[in-house]
A and B are shown apart, each in its own frame.
With several copies, the nearest count.
Chain A
Protein backbone atom coordinates (compact mmCIF):
# COMPACT_ATOMS: atom_id res chain seq x y z
CA UNK A 1 0.00 0.00 0.00
CA UNK A 2 2.82 2.39 0.82
CA UNK A 3 3.86 4.72 -1.97
CA UNK A 4 7.64 5.18 -1.78
CA UNK A 5 9.78 7.34 -4.04
CA UNK A 6 13.40 8.42 -4.06
CA UNK A 7 13.85 11.21 -6.57
CA UNK A 8 15.76 14.40 -7.34
CA UNK A 9 12.58 16.27 -8.37
CA UNK A 10 10.55 18.30 -5.91
CA UNK A 11 7.17 17.05 -4.67
CA UNK A 12 3.73 18.62 -4.25
CA UNK A 13 2.34 18.11 -0.73
CA UNK A 14 -1.29 18.73 -1.77
CA UNK A 15 -1.10 16.28 -4.68
CA UNK A 16 0.37 13.57 -2.43
CA UNK A 17 -2.30 14.15 0.23
CA UNK A 18 -4.99 13.87 -2.45
CA UNK A 19 -3.42 10.66 -3.77
CA UNK A 20 -3.27 9.12 -0.30
CA UNK A 21 -6.89 10.08 0.28
CA UNK A 22 -8.02 8.67 -3.09
CA UNK A 23 -6.01 5.48 -2.52
CA UNK A 24 -7.48 5.01 0.97
CA UNK A 25 -10.98 5.50 -0.36
CA UNK A 26 -10.39 3.07 -3.21
CA UNK A 27 -9.11 0.47 -0.76
CA UNK A 28 -12.10 0.80 1.59
CA UNK A 29 -14.10 -2.08 0.16
CA UNK A 30 -16.00 -3.11 3.24
CA UNK A 31 -17.14 0.20 4.65
CA UNK A 32 -17.45 2.16 1.44
CA UNK A 33 -15.16 5.08 0.76
CA UNK A 34 -14.30 7.86 3.19
CA UNK A 35 -13.04 5.99 6.20
CA UNK A 36 -9.97 8.24 6.50
CA UNK A 37 -10.48 10.68 9.36
CA UNK A 38 -6.95 11.95 9.91
CA UNK A 39 -4.09 12.85 7.58
CA UNK A 40 -0.70 13.93 8.89
CA UNK A 41 2.06 15.27 6.69
CA UNK A 42 5.65 15.93 7.62
CA UNK A 43 7.76 18.04 5.29
CA UNK A 44 11.48 18.32 5.93
CA UNK A 45 12.91 21.54 4.56
CA UNK A 46 16.52 22.67 4.01
CA UNK A 47 17.52 25.40 6.52
CA UNK A 48 20.27 27.93 5.82
CA UNK A 49 21.73 27.59 9.34
CA UNK A 50 21.82 31.31 10.05
CA UNK A 51 23.06 32.22 6.58
CA UNK A 52 26.07 29.85 6.72
CA UNK A 53 24.65 27.37 4.22
CA UNK A 54 23.88 27.87 0.51
CA UNK A 55 22.95 24.27 -0.28
CA UNK A 56 22.89 20.67 0.90
CA UNK A 57 24.07 17.92 -1.41
CA UNK A 58 22.21 14.71 -0.66
CA UNK A 59 23.95 11.50 -1.62
CA UNK A 60 22.05 8.23 -1.45
CA UNK A 61 22.53 4.50 -2.03
CA UNK A 62 20.31 3.81 -5.06
CA UNK A 63 18.22 0.71 -4.61
CA UNK A 64 18.93 0.35 -0.90
CA UNK A 65 17.31 3.76 -0.19
CA UNK A 66 13.99 2.59 -1.64
CA UNK A 67 14.23 -0.85 -0.04
CA UNK A 68 15.13 0.47 3.42
CA UNK A 69 12.31 3.03 3.35
CA UNK A 70 9.96 0.22 2.27
CA UNK A 71 11.07 -1.88 5.25
CA UNK A 72 10.46 1.02 7.64
CA UNK A 73 7.07 1.71 6.01
CA UNK A 74 6.08 -1.96 6.34
CA UNK A 75 6.97 -1.80 10.04
CA UNK A 76 4.79 1.31 10.44
CA UNK A 77 1.90 -0.50 8.75
CA UNK A 78 2.33 -3.43 11.13
CA UNK A 79 2.23 -1.12 14.16
CA UNK A 80 -0.62 1.24 13.23
CA UNK A 81 -3.92 0.77 11.35
CA UNK A 82 -2.97 3.00 8.41
CA UNK A 83 -5.23 3.62 5.43
CA UNK A 84 -2.58 5.39 3.39
CA UNK A 85 1.15 6.03 3.51
CA UNK A 86 3.51 7.95 1.25
CA UNK A 87 7.23 8.65 1.67
CA UNK A 88 9.23 10.74 -0.79
CA UNK A 89 12.92 11.44 -0.21
CA UNK A 90 14.89 13.70 -2.52
CA UNK A 91 18.58 13.53 -3.43
CA UNK A 92 20.92 15.91 -5.23
CA UNK A 93 21.50 19.61 -4.61
CA UNK A 94 18.87 21.19 -2.37
CA UNK A 95 18.85 24.87 -1.43
CA UNK A 96 17.54 26.54 1.75
CA UNK A 97 13.75 26.69 1.73
CA UNK A 98 13.49 23.69 -0.60
CA UNK A 99 11.89 20.39 0.35
CA UNK A 100 13.98 17.36 1.36
CA UNK A 101 11.52 14.74 2.53
CA UNK A 102 7.78 14.15 2.73
CA UNK A 103 5.84 11.68 4.85
CA UNK A 104 2.06 11.39 4.57
CA UNK A 105 0.08 9.07 6.85
CA UNK A 106 -3.67 8.52 6.90
CA UNK A 107 -5.82 6.67 9.41
CA UNK A 108 -9.31 6.66 10.86
CA UNK A 109 -8.14 8.53 13.96
CA UNK A 110 -5.48 11.09 14.62
CA UNK A 111 -3.24 9.26 17.08
CA UNK A 112 -2.25 6.52 14.63
CA UNK A 113 -1.54 9.07 11.90
CA UNK A 114 0.60 11.26 14.21
CA UNK A 115 2.55 8.38 15.74
CA UNK A 116 3.20 6.63 12.43
CA UNK A 117 4.49 9.85 10.82
CA UNK A 118 6.76 10.55 13.79
CA UNK A 119 8.01 6.95 13.81
CA UNK A 120 8.74 7.06 10.07
CA UNK A 121 10.74 10.27 10.38
CA UNK A 122 12.78 8.96 13.33
CA UNK A 123 13.63 5.79 11.41
CA UNK A 124 14.35 7.55 8.14
CA UNK A 125 16.82 9.81 9.96
CA UNK A 126 18.87 6.93 11.31
CA UNK A 127 18.28 4.05 8.84
CA UNK A 128 17.65 5.40 5.33
CA UNK A 129 20.97 5.49 3.40
CA UNK A 130 21.24 9.22 2.71
CA UNK A 131 24.12 11.53 3.55
CA UNK A 132 24.19 15.32 3.55
CA UNK A 133 27.15 17.42 2.48
CA UNK A 134 27.13 21.14 3.20
CA UNK A 135 27.94 23.85 0.67
CA UNK A 136 28.83 27.06 2.48
CA UNK A 137 28.18 30.72 1.71
CA UNK A 138 31.93 31.38 1.48
CA UNK A 139 32.20 28.94 -1.45
CA UNK A 140 33.84 26.12 0.48
CA UNK A 141 32.46 22.75 1.48
CA UNK A 142 31.42 22.48 5.11
CA UNK A 143 31.93 18.76 5.04
CA UNK A 144 29.49 15.99 5.79
CA UNK A 145 26.74 16.54 8.33
CA UNK A 146 27.32 14.49 11.48
CA UNK A 147 24.41 12.53 12.92
CA UNK A 148 22.67 14.16 15.87
CA UNK A 149 22.62 12.12 19.05
CA UNK A 150 19.01 13.20 19.59
CA UNK A 151 18.12 11.38 16.37
CA UNK A 152 19.53 8.09 17.64
CA UNK A 153 17.71 8.59 20.93
CA UNK A 154 14.48 9.44 19.12
CA UNK A 155 14.68 6.14 17.27
CA UNK A 156 15.24 4.03 20.39
CA UNK A 157 11.98 5.24 21.96
CA UNK A 158 10.08 3.02 19.49
CA UNK A 159 11.95 -0.16 20.54
Chain B
Protein backbone atom coordinates (compact mmCIF):
# COMPACT_ATOMS: atom_id res chain seq x y z
CA UNK B 1 0.00 0.00 0.00
CA UNK B 2 1.55 3.29 -1.13
CA UNK B 3 1.42 6.21 1.30
CA UNK B 4 2.45 9.80 0.40
CA UNK B 5 2.95 12.71 2.79
CA UNK B 6 2.87 16.48 2.28
CA UNK B 7 3.91 19.68 4.08
CA UNK B 8 4.51 19.30 7.83
CA UNK B 9 3.22 15.73 7.85
CA UNK B 10 5.98 14.93 5.33
CA UNK B 11 8.57 16.85 7.36
CA UNK B 12 7.65 15.09 10.61
CA UNK B 13 7.53 11.60 9.11
CA UNK B 14 10.79 12.41 7.32
CA UNK B 15 9.86 10.90 3.96
CA UNK B 16 7.74 11.82 0.95
CA UNK B 17 6.36 8.32 0.37
CA UNK B 18 6.64 4.73 1.42
CA UNK B 19 5.10 1.30 0.89
CA UNK B 20 3.52 -0.16 4.03
CA UNK B 21 1.65 -3.36 4.81
CA UNK B 22 -0.82 -2.72 7.62
CA UNK B 23 -2.50 -5.69 9.33
CA UNK B 24 -5.89 -6.85 8.08
CA UNK B 25 -7.84 -5.21 10.89
CA UNK B 26 -6.79 -1.74 9.63
CA UNK B 27 -9.77 -0.98 7.42
CA UNK B 28 -10.32 2.79 7.42
CA UNK B 29 -8.24 5.92 6.94
CA UNK B 30 -8.52 6.70 10.65
CA UNK B 31 -7.36 3.20 11.55
CA UNK B 32 -4.46 3.51 9.12
CA UNK B 33 -3.42 6.83 10.70
CA UNK B 34 -3.65 5.23 14.15
CA UNK B 35 -1.53 2.28 13.03
CA UNK B 36 1.08 4.57 11.42
CA UNK B 37 1.18 6.63 14.65
CA UNK B 38 2.51 3.58 16.50
CA UNK B 39 5.42 3.04 14.13
CA UNK B 40 7.86 5.41 15.87
CA UNK B 41 8.47 8.84 17.33
CA UNK B 42 8.39 10.63 13.98
CA UNK B 43 4.97 9.14 13.15
CA UNK B 44 3.69 9.86 16.66
CA UNK B 45 4.65 13.50 16.09
CA UNK B 46 3.06 13.67 12.62
CA UNK B 47 -0.22 12.11 13.76
CA UNK B 48 -0.25 13.64 17.26
CA UNK B 49 -3.50 15.44 16.49
CA UNK B 50 -5.31 12.96 14.25
CA UNK B 51 -8.30 15.30 13.75
CA UNK B 52 -6.05 17.83 12.00
CA UNK B 53 -4.38 15.53 9.49
CA UNK B 54 -6.40 15.21 6.26
CA UNK B 55 -6.39 12.31 3.86
CA UNK B 56 -6.95 11.56 0.19
CA UNK B 57 -7.39 8.19 -1.51
CA UNK B 58 -6.34 8.07 -5.13
CA UNK B 59 -6.18 11.87 -5.22
CA UNK B 60 -9.67 12.53 -3.82
CA UNK B 61 -10.42 13.98 -0.39
CA UNK B 62 -11.85 11.36 1.98
CA UNK B 63 -13.23 11.32 5.52
CA UNK B 64 -11.57 9.39 8.37
CA UNK B 65 -14.11 6.56 8.09
CA UNK B 66 -13.37 5.95 4.39
CA UNK B 67 -12.38 2.30 3.72
CA UNK B 68 -8.85 1.82 2.45
CA UNK B 69 -9.49 -1.49 0.66
CA UNK B 70 -8.45 -1.26 -3.00
CA UNK B 71 -6.68 2.09 -2.56
CA UNK B 72 -3.81 2.71 -4.98
CA UNK B 73 -2.33 5.69 -3.16
CA UNK B 74 -3.25 7.14 0.23
CA UNK B 75 -2.09 10.68 1.09
CA UNK B 76 -1.84 12.38 4.48
CA UNK B 77 -1.42 16.14 4.77
CA UNK B 78 -2.31 19.23 6.88
CA UNK B 79 -5.34 21.43 6.09
CA UNK B 80 -4.85 23.09 2.72
CA UNK B 81 -3.64 26.69 2.51
CA UNK B 82 -3.64 27.34 -1.21
CA UNK B 83 -5.22 30.18 -3.11
Q: Does a CB–CB distance below 8 Å link A and B in the complex? A: yes
Chain A residues engaging chain B, CB cutoff 8 angstroms: 44, 58-61, 63-64, 67-68, 89, 100-101, 110, 121, 124-133, 143-147, 151
Expressed in whole angstroms, the minimum distance between the Cβ of B23 and any Cβ of chain A is 27
Q: Indicate whether B75 reaches chain A with its CB closer than 8 angstroms.
A: yes
The answer to whether B82 and A124 touch across the interface, beta carbons within 8 angstroms, is yes
The answer to whether B80 and A128 touch across the interface, beta carbons within 8 angstroms, is yes
The answer to whether A131 and B59 touch across the interface, beta carbons within 8 angstroms, is no
The answer to whether B8 and A144 touch across the interface, beta carbons within 8 angstroms, is yes
Scoring B residues 54 to 75 as 1 if CB is less than 8 Å from chain A, else 0, what string do you get? 0010011100000000000001
Chain B residues engaging chain A, CB cutoff 8 angstroms: 4, 6-8, 56, 59-61, 75, 77-83
Considering the complex, give the chain A residue whose CB is closest to the CB of B79.
A147
The answer to whether B82 and A64 touch across the interface, beta carbons within 8 angstroms, is no
Considering the complex, give the chain B residue whose CB is closest to the CB of A131.
B7
**B residues in contact with A61, CB < 8 Å:** 4, 6, 56, 59, 75, 77
Expressed in whole angstroms, the minimum distance between the Cβ of A49 and any Cβ of chain B is 14
6 contacts between A and B (CB under 8 A): A64-B60, A67-B60, A89-B82, A131-B7, A131-B77, A132-B81
Question: Which of A121, A133, A144 has the most B CB atoms < 10 Å from its CB?
Answer: A144
Expressed in whole angstroms, the minimum distance between the Cβ of B52 and any Cβ of chain A is 10
Q: A64-B59, A67-B59, A131-B7 are in contact. Are A144 and B78 (CB under 8 A)?
A: yes
**B residues in contact with A64, CB < 8 Å:** 56, 59-60, 75
**A residues in contact with B8, CB < 8 Å:** 131, 143-144
Q: How far is the CA of A63 from the CA of B72 in the complex (A)?
A: 14
Expressed in whole angstroms, the minimum distance between the Cβ of A66 and any Cβ of chain B is 9
The answer to whether A129 and B81 touch across the interface, beta carbons within 8 angstroms, is no
Considering the complex, give the chain A residue whose CB is closest to the CB of B11.
A144
Q: How far is the CA of A58 from the CA of B60 in the complex (A)?
A: 20
The answer to whether B83 and A131 touch across the interface, beta carbons within 8 angstroms, is no
Expressed in whole angstroms, the minimum distance between the Cβ of B56 and any Cβ of chain A is 6
**B residues in contact with A145, CB < 8 Å:** 81
Q: How far is the CA of A64 from the CA of B72 in the complex (A)?
A: 13
**B residues in contact with A133, CB < 8 Å:** 7
The answer to whether B7 and A59 touch across the interface, beta carbons within 8 angstroms, is yes
Q: A61-B77, A64-B56 are in contact. Are A125 and B7 (CB under 8 A)?
A: no
Q: How far is the CA of A121 from the CA of B83 in the complex (A)?
A: 6
